[in-house]
Amino acid sequence: MKRPTLLALVCCLLAPAASAQQPSELERETEHLKILWVEGTRPELVDTAASEGERFYASIAQLLGEAPEFKIAVVLQGPSEQPNGERKAPHVDPFGRILLYSYDPSGYSYFSALAHEMVHAFRFARRRTADWFFEEGLAEMVALRVDDSLAGFPWFDYPVDLVAGQWIERGEDIPLQVMRERHRETNMACRAQTYTLRSSFFDYLGRTYGDSVIVAMASREPAGALEDYEDLLGEEFDTLAVEWRQFLVESYRNIPDREVKADRFRTESPIQYIPVCGAEDY
Ligand SMILES: [Zn+2]
């Protein structure tokens, strides 16, 4: 192997200063986004991040009626499974960057959480929030409006009413009040149930009372306060929870071959690898 010459070492020492002036090859800027990726990422995934990212950005800005003043960073981080066996999940980091992970060799699974995480990134510099149950519900409702693919967690290509309804029908649902009051303990630990039931609830609220009412709740400070449900939707949270449950049970029972499809969702989709909480867990 050729030994590095003194000149080469000087060049290396100077390299960081030089690259600060020129965009790195692992970074691309679009109108509203800064896409970053790990080495080895296929170029078409970067193209998809740019095109899907801008598409979601435009729809989210329209729905929320506002957009951040800065470009949102979207980072393609590589496989979810880390060398130590740990599994990483998509999230917005403390700098407001969207970190995405891939779950399949094609890498297209990167984008199943992009719309949801982008809502969090839009609200990164937001005013105070009353609770994370609301922030997650808002992100889920908006994601359902702007991305109708239902690919990836938590739907895995099954319809919302089927996925959420089967928890209730099998007596495995977690009460919304528990999810709201104990978000930290239940959200990730019981994510198979929390992400689907909460999505269905906010989807129902948006469709019944208007998405703009949920967006109005989001713009209050703090956002998502318990009294705002009654103030803006005209019903107390507990009443809305009962209404939604009735709606979901009825919708679920109207799905043809629901039990066969629900069995398939539970035993054949990746949800089979995600733990399901029982009442003893919360
Ligand atoms: Zn979220």
pLDDT value at residue 7: 39
Percentage above 90 pLDDT, the chain: 85
pLDDT in tens, 177-188: 999 999 999 999
C-alpha 159 – ligand 1 centre gap (Å): 19
Mean pLDDT across 16-41: 77
Report which of 97, 54, 55, 59 is spatially closest to residue 75, judged by C-alpha positions: 97
Rounded to the nearest angstrom, the distance between the alpha carbon of 120 and the centre of ligand 1 is 7
Using a CB cutoff of 5 Å, list residues around ligand 1, an ion. Answer: 136, 139
Q: With 60 as the cut, is the pLDDT of residue 5 above it?
A: no
- Across the chain, mean pLDDT equals 91
pLDDT for residue 17:
42
Residue 144, pLDDT above cutoff 60 = yes
- 51 residue type, one letter: S
pLDDT in tens, 206-256: 999 999 999 999 999 999 999 999 999 999 999 999 999 999 999 999 999
CA of 251 to the centre of ligand 1 (A): 25
Give the distance (Å) from ligand 1 centre to CA of residue 135: 7
Q: 154 and 199 in contact (C-beta within 8 Å)?
A: yes
- Does residue 11 have a pLDDT over 80? no
How far does residue 224's CA lie from ligand 1's centre (Å)?
Answer: 15
How far apart (Å, rounded) are the C-alpha atoms in residues 156 and 149? 9
Please give the distance, rounded to the nearest whole angstrom, from the Cα atom of residue 205 to the centre of ligand 1. Answer: 18
Q: What are the structural domains of the chain?
A: 26-125 (3.30.2010.30), 128-282 (no CATH)
- Measured in Å, residue 268 CA sits from the centre of ligand 1 at 25
pLDDT 10s digits, 252-264: 999 999 999 999 9
Q: What would the pLDDT profile of 51-96 be if each residue is shown by its tens digit? A: 999 999 999 999 999 999 999 999 999 999 999 999 999 999 999 9
- C-alpha of residue 140 to centroid of ligand 1, in Å: 7
Q: What is the pTM of this model?
A: 0.89
